[in-house]
Structure 1
Amino acid sequence: MPKILIADDEPNIVTLISRYAQREGYDIVTVSDGRQAIDACHNEDFDLIVMDVMMPDTDGFTACKKIKEFKDIPVIMLSARGTEFDKLFGFEVGVDDYVTKPFSPMELMARIKVILSHKKKPEIKEEARIISVGGIVIDTLGMTVEVDGEKADLTAKEYSLLLLLVRNKGVVLSRDRILNEVWGYDSFGVDRTVDWQIKLLRSKLGQYRDCIKTMRGVGYKFEI
């Protein structure tokens, strides 16, 4: 049974999410601030975290960043603030998905389901451990990236996005396909999730940032 940590200081939100999550068969643990969320992750293993941004003591962004330093747990961030800056900052600290309040609990459950199923998806295709394109070197076993000999500090999502683009070098990938293969979404890519992650990824590729080409109205492709 997947175990989910819900971190939110609004009791009605916690109750709502817990009720729907328990109907889906998930084991639920709840906390009311970021510090408690960090402590809970030190003491227990969770399959996913649903966390609010604005919480007392330690905010959700800070808690997410600290948790990601010692455990690789998918995080869905909840926030009433849905600006581009907020979402970009969230992805930068390791957030896996961002849901703006008010939200549909059924859609949140669907997002949880696809993240959990995507997390468990096994690697099917065997490939060389090292993939080199120009000055970009990807170690697929170590899940590390070097750019001109320097290690690039990529989040898990940025790494997966770069690997997908490089594996399909010269091929135009639609936003829907990227969402499906990197996030596991088939129908929830209505916001600019891919565009925000592309922007962050480009910022970490140095002189190779322009190798990720924007195909207006379609998606992206990698050329070098």
Structure 2
Amino acid sequence: MSGNILIVDTDKSFIKGLKYSLEQDDYLVDISSSGKGAIEKIDKKTYELVLLELDVPDMNGLTICQNIRSLSSVPIIFLTEIDEDIKKILALEYGADDYMVKPFNILELKARIKAILRRVNNKNNDLDKSIIDTEDFTINTLGRKVISGDKNINLTGKEFDLLFVLASNPGKVFTREDLLEKVWGYAYYGDLRTVDVHIRRIREKIEKDPREAEYILTKWGVGYYFKAK
């Protein structure tokens, strides 16, 4: 599996080793040592993945992530020495796909990269290119859009995939592990709170009152399911 990967970091020794290792798997690797430089590269070139250090001198990593999301839905993995739950949650809130704490096993990173790229490359395989209608919005699986009235509900790629899995199986309860595997492409590697964060973000966008959800419901102690109205 190959693809263009952008590493955003300032640790030259770390970058050198990581770049070499990824190139052994036929990835094409670009480097940026600044947030501004990373955003400029992403604006000009298509990448399959971004590996982003949370602490970049010229710009906070979360701000970089937010800026990237305004340009592209490219998957982002944070690589950082900060092992704090709040930082992990914020990273996911800002649109990151995964979070790894340095030092890490390069084989685990490669496994996560492959899983993410496999999900992205195959994300249309399960789509039946049809319309899923509810009382309040329409899911267009062909155009990967969610429309309410004449307005487009702006979902990230991961949020759309998660909504689609649930909406195309109304009434079926999915565990967090199920959703992690189906949407993110791997089991047990990721933090289960990733699912909770994305569910909350989807609810905020599609539900009339996210605190009293009508569509994406929680089966306490089990997981989540979609209730069509």
TM-score (structure 2 length as normaliser): 0.85
Runs of 4+, deviation exceeding 4 Å = 147-150
Aligned-partner residue type, residue 106 of structure 2: P
Alignment deviations for residues 194-220 of structure 1 (CA, whole Å, 9 cap, x no partner):
122112222222326423222233221
Question: Is the CA contact (8 Å cut-off) linking 1:3 and 1:27 kept in structure 2?
Answer: yes
Higher mean displacement: 125-134 or 159-168? 125-134
Aligned-partner residue type, residue 222 of structure 2: V
Higher mean displacement: 109-118 or 193-202? 193-202
- CA–CA distance in 2 between the matches of 1:44 and 1:124? 25
Task: Tell me the secondary structure at the aligned position of residue 28 of structure 1.
Answer: strand
Q: How far has the Cα of 1:22 moved from its partner?
A: 2.0
Q: How far has the Cα of 1:192 moved from its partner?
A: 1.9
Higher mean displacement: 123-132 or 212-221? 123-132
Task: Tell me the secondary structure at the aligned position of residue 142 of structure 1.
Answer: coil
Task: Tell me the secondary structure at the aligned position of residue 59 of structure 2.
Answer: coil
Q: Could you tell me which runs of 5 or more consecutive residues in structure 1 were left unpaired when the two chains were aligned.
A: none
Q: How far has the Cα of 1:39 moved from its partner?
A: 1.7
Higher mean displacement: 111-120 or 198-207? 198-207
Q: How far has the Cα of 1:7 moved from its partner?
A: 0.5
Alignment deviations for residues 153-193 of structure 1 (CA, whole Å, 9 cap, x no partner):
32211111111111111001122221121111134134421
Question: Is the CA contact (8 Å cut-off) linking 1:16 and 1:105 kept in structure 2?
Answer: no
Question: Is the CA contact (8 Å cut-off) linking 1:92 and 1:155 kept in structure 2?
Answer: no
Q: What is the aligned-residue identity percentage?
A: 33
- CA–CA distance in 2 between the matches of 1:88 and 1:147? 28
**Residue 131 (1) aligns with residue 132 (2):** yes
- CA–CA distance in 2 between the matches of 1:220 and 1:115? 22
Q: Could you tell me which runs of 5 or more consecutive residues in structure 2 were left unpaired when the two chains were aligned.
A: none
Aligned-partner residue type, residue 115 of structure 2: V
What is the number of residues matched between the two proteins?
A: 224
| 1:104 corresponds to | 105
TM-score (structure 1 length as normaliser): 0.87
Aligned-partner residue type, residue 70 of structure 1: L
Distance 1:154 1:82, change over 3 A: farther
Aligned-partner residue type, residue 220 of structure 1: Y
Question: Structure 2 matches for 1:1-224, cutoff 5 A?
Answer: 1-121=2-122, 123-125=124-126, 127=128, 129-147=130-148, 150-207=151-208, 209=210, 210=213, 211-224=215-228
Q: How far has the Cα of 1:18 moved from its partner?
A: 1.6
